[in-house]
A and B are shown apart, each in its own frame.
Chain A
Amino acid sequence: MSFTRRAALIAAICTIALAFLAPDAKAHGYKIGDLEIGHPWTRATPPSAKVAGGFLKVTNKGSQPDRLISATFDGSASTEVHEMAHEGGVMKMRELPKGIEIKPGETVELKPGGFHLMFIGLKSGLKEKERLKGTLVFEKAGTIEVDFAVESMGARGGNAQEHHNHGAKTQ
């Protein structure tokens, strides 16, 4: 085997190995202080849509509670922290002015049907596979810049089982 051939082979093997080792492009995460933030995402919007939901996971690895108190999104005029609940056949949504608490050792998931960020006044439609910047503001850990990955219009996040468990959850 010639040197160039061997070099090409090694390069090819490295590329393949890297492709497997590199973190899945779809799942991304961040750390700020004691908080781990998993995969901020949103959904592609129908034409003329003025709002979209923002979703992510936050795990508190520390010993003090923290709160997600606000957020911003480059694609919208404003962003609010909301909670949605399905009660007695009615979809109810409300703003959480004090944000969402993340207790020490706990993971809070913002997902369809539950807690979410509400992106209000979209500047343009969100298209699948785009990424838009935003920030998350925590009471103690501070502010972190994140990318929101735009998933398909029908994306529900997680698997169906999780979704059903959540749907049946009542307070």
Chain B
Amino acid sequence: MTALKLIRYGAWSAIAALGVVIAVVLLSPAPRTDQAGGGRIGGPFKIASAKGGEIDSASLRGKPYGIFFGFTQCPDICPGTLMDLTALMDDLDKGPMAAKAKDFRVLFITVDPERDTAEILANYLSAFDGRIDGLVPTVEALPALAKQFAAYYQKVPTSSGYTMNHTSAVYLFNREGVFAGTIDIQESRSSQKAKLERLLGR
């Protein structure tokens, strides 16, 4: 029994380790080119804010920020990631990074502008940290915007309508607006926190 258990845990660990390796390989989007300022992730944008008006990348200069593509009719990853980010910011607010954490912004960009109106998105985000803003791109602008961030999204039909597949990572940008890596819901809270601290600390 114990030997079996041991084998099982061993097998799981091997699978987990392999998964991590695959994830690291797949999730590292061209990190080295960003140093030179020629990063392929990011670039200027101007998108309607769920709270009214527009948010444009120039107005974020001097503030580190995260960008997350999702939709409100998402059962798990989106609310889960928003909860993670809310908890992380709350955590940072209580520590030595509190002053810097005030500058941090998260932009939640809907990949489902057909159903996610500004009103729905603003209402939905009221459950999370106030530094998270909702953005509603037009249906026409969304493909180019996603491409700019190498983000993937796709409509998947179901019997009662459709759902969306989408990139789960939160893209991080430093105060100069340069891509600085990603954080993901599947990472441990401590690893997420370390990445945010590194981003804010600069």
A interface residues (Cβ-Cβ under 8 A, vs B): 43, 45-53, 77-78, 80, 82, 84, 86, 88-95, 97, 112-113, 116, 118-121, 153-154, 156, 160, 164-165, 167-170
Is B152 an interface residue when CB atoms closer than 8 A count as contact?
yes
Say yes or no: A89-B26 contact (C-beta < 8 A), given A46-B128, A167-B186, A168-B20. Answer: yes
Kindly specify which of B92-100, B135-143, B156-164, B194-202 makes contact with the partner chain.
B156-164
Question: From B163, which residue of chain A is reached at the shortest CB distance?
Answer: A93
B156 touches A94 (CB 8 A): yes
Interface contact B152-A154, CB-CB below 8 Å: no
Q: Does B126 contact A (CB under 8 A)?
A: yes
B87 lies within 8 A of A154 (CB) = yes
Chain B's nearest CB lies how many Å from the CB of A168?
3
**Nearest CB in chain A: distance from B156 CB, A:** 6
Contact B158 A95 (CB under 8 A): yes
Q: Give the complex CA separation of A92 and B120 in angstroms.
A: 23
B170 to chain A, nearest CB (A): 11
A142 → chain B, closest Cβ, in Å? Answer: 22
CB <8 Å contact, B19 and A169? yes
Q: Which residues on A sit within 8 Å (CB–CB) of B164?
A: 93
| Nearest-CB residue, chain B, relative to A87 | B26
Given contacts A46-B124, A47-B123, A94-B156, contact A116 B76 (CB under 8 A): yes
> Does the CB pair B160–A78 fall under 8 Å?
yes
Bound-state CA distance A140–B125 (Å) is 42
In the bound complex, how far is the Cα of B1 from the Cα of A109, in angstroms? 22
